[in-house]
Every structure is written in structure tokens, then in C-alpha cells.
């Protein structure tokens, strides 16, 4: 017998077992992630499961959000499922379809579209997603081998490693146990980056402050002359992977210092030293569009993968208006 489960109905022990056995498990499909989403203003968390013969075979964790801009908020309400659904390899097509239909049709938060941002290979289920209204979108990512520190270092491009080595020689220090005040300084740098270059909305300080207290979250910051000049926020699925959620650095702190590169190297070290054989950059843009950050990420020696995204548009007109509005705002800024 197949059954759709709400969050409160999901057996926590079976959920943990599924995380351990699923080839597509990520931190973003854990109970810890759900509770984090639930704690942040502007995020409306949701979680559903599906069982077959009383065995949990699938879980979806995500959140609904919208842009805070007074006009765009009406056209950008979206559901984001980071990592992609947590699935047992033996899940039946019927059970997966039921889970996808529940998300697409019954989310009472009423998003304009639903997007799964896959960090693993979902090709075996692609047809089931598409049958249920989730169209495949090409999207790239880099996966870095962090089985050991030596392997991670050996894969970094010669010039990028030179920048990292010289930066650390000339005073840049990795801070792997920062205070909340130091994280606040990192957030200030990140916020300025999003305002001036990225030009997309960034979560408020509350998001990063709450993230600081999550067990499987790690802030890796870079200090120079007693001042925070960059860093990264990453999350860890113990024994499996470290995911880089945010990273930034002050470009003008000094000509010989590359704080973002040092921070990423710190994340890779953290992954290797804590038994996580994979470092995930969480995205490298669309293959048919220029994306300068992709070239930068490539220098860290990862494997370029295309696990893509699945997109379900529930309100086509509002979706189209929202896309045009976001493009207009980026040009305006």
C-alpha cells in the first residue's frame, strides 16, 4: 500500500535510514534543513514523504519564498527544493508520481512555480518528473574530489593554487571557528557583493545568524591584519558531502590576497578532514549562457556535471511577468 505523508507523519528513524542509503541524499533533504527553513522569516517550509508497504521511499523538503520588492512579490512567489527529492532507488513510478503530484497540486502556499535544484543524477526518474509536469532544465555544477587533502590540493589549477599559497604566506588566515561577530562582518561583505555585482536578492541577517547555530553548518572565514576580508558558508552531510551555499571576498583588500580562493580552499580542507569525499559548488550556470563564475570554479579541479533542474510552472502568466521584472531590475541596478 502506498501512502503520502505530511511532515508530522514521517517516521524519523526511517528518514535517517533513507538519508544513509539513498544515492541522491543531500543535507537539504534532512529534518535539520526543514527545521532551519521553518525558523527563518520569509521562508515557509514544507515536507512530504511517501511510503510503500510501510517503508519510507521518498521525501521532499523545500520552502516557499518571494522577493521583498513591493511589486515583484506578486510575481516571484516560488517553491525551491534544494538538492532534489530524497529517493530510495526502488521507489515505484506510482509512488514517485504521487509525491510529485502532491507537491505540484496540493501545496497550500500557492507558489507560481516549483523548482528542484538537483545536486545528484536524477536521469533514471526524468521521464516520471516530466510526465508529472516537471520539465527538465539544463544546469551545470562542479563536484570536487575531497577524499583526502592531498587529492583536493593536487586537482587545483597551478595558478589558482599559487594565489592561495601566496595569500596565506602574506598574512591571510583561515578562521574555522568564527564568532558570531566575525560572521556578521562576512555578511556585510556578502551583502555588498549581491547589491553591486550579483544583483539578486540576498537573505537578511536573520538567515545567516540562525544558520550559525545549526550543527552541520560551517563558516570558514578569512582574516587579514585582524579584519575579516572574506569567507564561505557551507553545510555538511556527514560522511558524504560539503555544499558551498555562499562565498565572497573583498577584491580590494590587497593586491596579493585572494580571500575567496582561500575560503574555498578552507572548505575543501574541512571536507577532507571530516570524512566528506565530495565538495559541491551548488551550481555553475546554464551551459548555453556565459557565466564568469563557472570559469573561476573550474580552477579548483572539480568534475563538470549536468544534473540540471526540474521546473513546474503553476501560473504561466505570472511566471513570465516575474522573469521580465527580475531582468528589468538587474539592468536598473
- Taking phi over 0 as left and psi of -120 to 50 as alpha, with beta for the rest, 180 belongs to alpha
What is the model's pTM? 0.94
Percent of the chain topping pLDDT 90: 84
What residue ranges do the domains of the chain occupy? 2-138+308-332, 142-305
Does residue 23 sit in helix, strand or coil? coil
Residue 129 has pLDDT above 80, yes or no: yes
Asked whether the domain spanning 142-305 has the same topology as the one spanning 2-138+308-332, the reply is yes
Which of the four pLDDT bands, split at 50, 70 and 90, describes residue 71?
low
The span from the CA of 271 to the CA of 234, in Å, is 10
Cell of 117: 535544484
What CATH architecture does domain 2-138+308-332 belong to?
Answer: 3-Layer(aba) Sandwich (3.40)
- What topology does CATH give the domain 142-305? Aminopeptidase (3.40.630)
In this predicted model, what pLDDT tens digit does every residue of 193-221 receive, in sequence order?
Answer: 999 999 888 999 999 999 999 999 999 99
Task: Report pLDDT digits (tens) over 147-182.
Answer: 999 999 999 999 999 999 999 999 999 999 999 999
**Residue 60, beta-bridge partner list:** 48
Q: What are phi and psi of 75, to 5 degrees?
A: -120, 5
Write b or e for each residue in 104-119: b if 16 or more Cβ atoms lie within 10 A of its Cβ, otherwise e.
beebeeebbbbbbbbb
Q: HSE of 98 in the Cβ direction (CA atoms, 13 Å)?
A: 19
Amino acid at each position: 500500500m502506498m501512502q503520502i505523508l505530511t511532515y508530522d507523519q514521517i517516521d524519523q528513524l526511517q528518514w535517517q535510514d533513507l538519508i544513509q542509503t539513498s544515492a541522491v541524499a543531500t543535507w537539504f533533504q534532512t529534518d535539520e534543513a526543514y527545521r532551519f527553513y521553518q525558523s527563518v522569516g520569509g521562508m515557509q517550509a514544507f515536507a512530504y514523504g511517501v511510503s510503500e508497504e510501510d517503508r519510507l521511499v521518498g521525501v521532499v523538503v523545500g520552502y516557499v519564498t518571494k522577493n521583498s520588492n513591493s511589486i515583484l512579490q506578486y510575481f516571484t512567489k516560488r517553491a525551491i527544493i534544494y538538492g532534489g527529492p530524497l529517493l530510495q532507488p526502488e521507489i515505484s513510478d506510482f509512488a514517485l508520481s504521487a509525491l510529485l503530484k502532491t507537491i505540484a497540486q496540493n501545496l497550500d502556499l500557492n507558489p507560481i512555480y516549483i523548482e528542484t535544484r538537483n545536486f545528484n543524477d536524477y536521469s533514471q526518474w526524468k521521464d516520471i518528473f516530466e510526465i508529472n509536469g516537471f520539465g527538465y532544465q539544463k544546469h551545470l555544477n562542479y563536484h570536487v574530489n575531497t577524499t583526502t587533502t592531498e587529492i583536493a590540493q593536487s586537482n587545483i589549477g597551478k595558478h589558482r593554487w599559487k594565489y592561495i599559497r601566496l595569500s596565506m604566506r602574506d598574512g591571510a588566515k583561515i578562521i574555522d571557528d568564527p564568532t558570531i561577530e566575525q560572521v556578521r562582518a562576512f555578511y556585510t561583505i556578502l551583502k555588498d557583493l549581491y547589491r553591486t555585482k550579483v544583483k539578486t536578492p540576498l537573505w537578511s541577517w536573520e538567515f545567516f545568524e540562525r544558520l550559525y547555530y545549526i550543527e552541520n553548518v560551517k563558516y570558514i572565514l578569512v582574516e587579514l591584519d585582524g579584519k575579516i576580508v572574506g569567507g564561505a558558508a557551507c553545510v555538511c552531510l556527514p560522511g558524504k558531502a560539503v555544499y558551498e551555499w555562499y562565498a565572497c571576498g573583498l577584491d580590494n583588500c590587497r593586491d596579493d590576497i585572494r580571500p575567496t580562493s582561500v575560503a574555498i580552499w578552507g572548505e575543501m580542507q574541512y571536507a577532507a578532514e571530516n570524512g566528506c569525499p565530495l565538495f559541491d559548488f551548488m551550481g555553475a550556470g546554464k551551459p548555453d549562457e556565459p557565466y564568469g563564475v563557472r570559469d573561476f570554479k573550474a580552477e579548483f579541479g572539480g568534475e563538470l556535471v549536468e544534473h540540471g533542474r526540474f521546473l513546474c510552472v503553476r501560473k504561466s502568466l505570472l511566471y513570465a511577468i516575474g522573469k521580465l521584472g527580475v531582468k528589468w531590475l538587474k539592468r536598473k541596478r
